[in-house]
Structure 1
Amino acid sequence: LWKYAQGVAAEELKDPSPSEFDQVNAQQVRQTIAKIDHALQDKPVDNKVKQKLNYARRHWPKNLDRYEQQEEQLGSRNSMSKTDPDATFMRMKEDHMLNGQLKPAYNVQISTQQQFILNYSLHQTSTDYQTLPVHIEQYQGLYNTLPSAIVADAGYGSDENYAVLEQKEIEAYIKYNTFDKEQKHGIRPFSSDSLHYNQAENYLVCPIGQRMGHIGDGQRITTSGHVQLVSRYQARNCQGCPMRGVCHAAKGNR
């Protein structure tokens, strides 16, 4: 069997042209089935082939139309419930099975002041940090003003949210996601956060005192479309460094 598989693979690899997988629509499927029917008109055809063609004629075009509608409903989300198209599958923290099942759900956000509910919003994303900008916009639309400060847990801490709040001049009492860990264990001595940064000359200093020069800037786009600016720095020579084993595990210079 293995020899046979190797032979088939070798035969297929003789053709170096890559396979093309173009998206097809329901009309193209109908036309292809009609061509096959026409080609088999005067030929003896096995009943299984006829059954397959009949099944394809009845179901495949209709299924493609349904898939296109579902893709349009899905939009930018990563999942959708067929029974409730507006709902997104989210992992429940607690359910009757106590095993964190994925279920169609909505993310409900509520903001309060002195125990009075001022605003609530429904979202199709399971991550809380993506809901904050929309929630603030809705609050502004309701009251034609903005809150002077916002208190939220670490689930709302992100570069995007800090930037939005700073732009809107809202004071943010929001922890970032590693805050509690750092308070408990402290910043690791060899982490990026612990490196000294010289702002005047734009360079970092590695744990052994070697300068890490600025080698370029780039961008990273989050799932919500927020563009993060990323600066990269590199040490000159990590070879033979006595701290190499605990400083970083990547090849080359850190």
Structure 2
Amino acid sequence: MDLNYNINQLSLNISTAYEPELNHPARYINRLVEGLAIQKPNIMGRPREYDPRMLLKLVLLAYSYGVISCRKIERFARENLVARWLTQEQQPTYRTIARFVVSPDLEEMIQNGFKDFHDYLKAHGMIDEASFIDGTKILANANKYSFVWKKRTIKYSELNIEKARKLLQEIKQAEVKINVNGDSFNIDQLDTIVALLEQRIEELNQRVSETAKVSPNPAKQERRHAKKYLHALDHCRQKNLEYRTQAQIAGPRNSYSKTDHDATFMRVKEDPMRNGQTKPAYNLQIMTNSQFVLGYDLMQNPTDTRTLIPFLKLLAQNGVLGRVIVADAGYGSERNYKYIEDELPGHTALIPYSTMIKENSRKWCSDDRKVMNWEYHEDDDYYVNPDGVRFNFKRYAYRNDKYKFRRDFKVYQAEKYNENHQVIPQALTPRGNTKYIMINPQWEYFKAKARESLSNSNTYSRRKYDVETVFGNLKAYLGFNRFTVRGLKKAKRQMGIALMALNMKKMAGRPTIFGNSFRKRKNRSEF
């Protein structure tokens, strides 16, 4: 049969008469975005002609295909048949797409989308009450060599102040006649000193012009010294302003990038040189269940220990936090345990502490230096070490860490003398001081509670293949290893698109993965 194939034949322009298959991610994206309660959406584009819902559908579909560049998304909207079905033949430019990706409207739509997606999964029994939490580092869109270290800034600032103080002493010795007090120097006085030097130079200029024929002219010599010190002090003043700005940008962080002030230098897994070089990145925290991302946040702190409490507050505020909180040993700290027990009494924490596995090893259990291997008498509250030395309770103590968290301790001191009033050598340190130990009762309580909760539950074993799989799909499947925008707010919006696109891809693949159980459900394509 001969087919009449003629690309030059005149035809009528009509919309795309195409619909994707039932389990295509585009259908779930369409239903998700259409279900969002958007009031008075701001029309995007120049001229303003594109609905933000259409742009969100296009961006989600493109990200699910691993297309992140705005220029490639523009071509994707023209050439991909499924994208043309979602956009109904509309073709926004890459500038419109770029402005939409970082717009505040997108952040609100993404947050509402995560909440609606969580409610849908919970209503259909696809998730349970477990919340699997973990973090990973995503590279920022910044130069990896444009670093500013806070410790260096503090050090150079102190050296600059000392240099300004020495210059002020030299000014007085050089007999430059300005009215300053060098005994109580303050760095904030640099503006006043520079102004006095400028005023003195103007006076000397006038005197030099009046005594032009005098040689040697003492006014010229004083003016030469005044100009030299003016340039030096002005340089100190500029450096002082620079160091203050750097310290203000860094805040509580130890470093930041000059090209992206919100990015912090961290050790990331993408280390091709294998030298532990720090790179500008953000700490991504996610909460998953059944490999669906139900909540996320971007942190500037490189360690996971301090990110748990603000992340739990965000999840509880959004109403997506489950009753069982599961995380790895990187989140096990006294502060986190205390917050969950005090602020989240209806939740169970399945979080091991850092030395939990080591405490079960033979080496740890046979180590006589570990207090847990000592004999403890609860009635009289004292310890006996393997050498037979008794440690009696002496006093209470506390310590505050650099984040102002208080830890209470009980101090036990060794008995220095035996029954015959002779010195016990085992009770003394090599320098002759009496040995003592410090016990944190609250930390020991939380450790025992963590061991008990983990031994009575099988939920923790799901953590590796639930939350770690999401990171693998995000970096390997979608290819999202580095942000294309700068700034914490903009990066957070872009990450929301990538994670929601990953959810839509996972949602579309569920009927094929769990085909037998999924076919039994009615309205399986309804979202």
- Trace 1:87-98 onto structure 2 (pairs within 5 A): 87-98=263-274
Query: Which residue, 331, 336, 342 being the options, matches 1:161?
Result: 336
Instruction: Work out whether residues 268 and 278 of structure 2, in 8 Å CA contact, stay in contact via their aligned partners in 1.
Output: yes
- SS in structure 2 of the partner of residue 179 of structure 1: coil
Query: Which residue, 199, 210, 227 being the options, matches 1:50?
Result: 227
- SS in structure 1 of the partner of residue 311 of structure 2: helix
Q: Deviations over 1:81-113 (max 9, x none)?
A: 232221222223442322111222221111211
Structure 2 counterpart of 1:14: none
1:237 and 2:412 aligned: no
- SS in structure 1 of the partner of residue 404 of structure 2: coil
**Displacement, 1:209?**
3.3
Q: State how far apart, in whole Å, the 1-side matches of 2:311 and 2:386 are.
A: 42
- SS in structure 2 of the partner of residue 73 of structure 1: helix
In structure 2, do the counterparts of structure 1 residues 75 and 106 end up closer, same or farther at CA, with 3 Å as the change threshold? same
With structure 2 as the length reference, what TM-score do the two structures score?
A: 0.39
**Displacement, 1:230?**
1.5
Which amino acid in structure 2 is aligned with residue 203 of structure 1? Answer: Y
1:151 and 2:330 aligned: no
**Displacement, 1:49?**
7.3
Structure 2 counterpart of 1:179: 356
Q: Which moved more, 1:162-171 or 1:126-135?
A: 162-171
Percent identity, please. Answer: 33
Instruction: Work out whether residues 197 and 204 of structure 1, in 8 Å CA contact, stay in contact via their aligned partners in 2.
Output: yes
Structure 1 counterpart of 2:295: 119
Structure 1 counterpart of 2:75: none
Query: Which residue, 12, 19, 29 being the options, matches 2:190?
Result: 29
In structure 2, do the counterparts of structure 1 residues 22 and 173 end up closer, same or farther at CA, with 3 Å as the change threshold? farther
Which amino acid in structure 2 is aligned with residue 61 of structure 1? Answer: R
Q: Which moved more, 1:146-155 or 1:37-46?
A: 37-46
Aligned length: 228
- SS in structure 1 of the partner of residue 416 of structure 2: coil
- Trace 1:54-93 onto structure 2 (pairs within 5 A): 54=231, 56-57=233-234, 59-93=235-269
Structure 2 counterpart of 1:133: 309
In structure 2, do the counterparts of structure 1 residues 23 and 231 end up closer, same or farther at CA, with 3 Å as the change threshold? farther
- SS in structure 2 of the partner of residue 217 of structure 1: strand
In structure 2, do the counterparts of structure 1 residues 79 and 199 end up closer, same or farther at CA, with 3 Å as the change threshold? farther
Instruction: Work out whether residues 106 and 124 of structure 1, in 8 Å CA contact, stay in contact via their aligned partners in 2.
Output: yes
Instruction: Work out whether residues 123 and 131 of structure 1, in 8 Å CA contact, stay in contact via their aligned partners in 2.
Output: yes
Instruction: Work out whether residues 194 and 230 of structure 2, in 8 Å CA contact, stay in contact via their aligned partners in 1.
Output: yes
Instruction: Work out whether residues 267 and 276 of structure 2, in 8 Å CA contact, stay in contact via their aligned partners in 1.
Output: yes
Where in structure 2 are there 5+ consecutive unaligned residues? 1-182, 205-218, 418-422, 436-527
Which amino acid in structure 1 is aligned with residue 328 of structure 2? Answer: D
Q: Which moved more, 1:106-115 or 1:193-202?
A: 193-202
**Displacement, 1:139?**
0.5
Structure 1 counterpart of 2:434: 253
Q: Which moved more, 1:165-174 or 1:42-51?
A: 42-51
Larger radius of gyration: 2
Q: State how far apart, in whole Å, the 1-side matches of 2:226 and 2:392 are.
A: 67
Q: Which has the higher helix share?
A: 2
1:215 and 2:376 aligned: no
**Displacement, 1:191?**
1.3
- SS in structure 1 of the partner of residue 274 of structure 2: coil
Q: State how far apart, in whole Å, the 1-side matches of 2:356 and 2:308 are.
A: 19
In structure 2, do the counterparts of structure 1 residues 250 and 90 end up closer, same or farther at CA, with 3 Å as the change threshold? farther
Instruction: Work out whether residues 93 and 100 of structure 1, in 8 Å CA contact, stay in contact via their aligned partners in 2.
Output: no
Q: State how far apart, in whole Å, the 1-side matches of 2:382 and 2:283 are.
A: 42
Q: Which moved more, 1:215-224 or 1:227-236?
A: 215-224
Instruction: Work out whether residues 364 and 370 of structure 2, in 8 Å CA contact, stay in contact via their aligned partners in 1.
Output: no
Q: State how far apart, in whole Å, the 1-side matches of 2:373 and 2:184 are.
A: 49
In structure 2, do the counterparts of structure 1 residues 48 and 192 end up closer, same or farther at CA, with 3 Å as the change threshold? farther
Instruction: Work out whether residues 304 and 330 of structure 2, in 8 Å CA contact, stay in contact via their aligned partners in 1.
Output: yes
Which amino acid in structure 2 is aligned with residue 32 of structure 1? Answer: I
**Displacement, 1:222?**
2.5
Q: State how far apart, in whole Å, the 1-side matches of 2:424 and 2:274 are.
A: 51
In structure 2, do the counterparts of structure 1 residues 48 and 117 end up closer, same or farther at CA, with 3 Å as the change threshold? farther
Instruction: Work out whether residues 110 and 120 of structure 1, in 8 Å CA contact, stay in contact via their aligned partners in 2.
Output: yes
Q: Deviations over 1:217-240 (max 9, x none)?
A: 222223332211121111112854
**Displacement, 1:52?**
5.6
Give the RMSD, CA atoms, in angstroms. Answer: 3.0
Which amino acid in structure 1 is aligned with residue 415 of structure 2? Answer: R
Q: Which has the higher strand share?
A: 1
Which amino acid in structure 2 is aligned with residue 200 of structure 1? Answer: D
Query: Which residue, 198, 203, 225 being the options, matches 2:404?
Result: 225
- SS in structure 2 of the partner of residue 32 of structure 1: helix
Where in structure 1 are there 5+ consecutive unaligned residues? 1-19
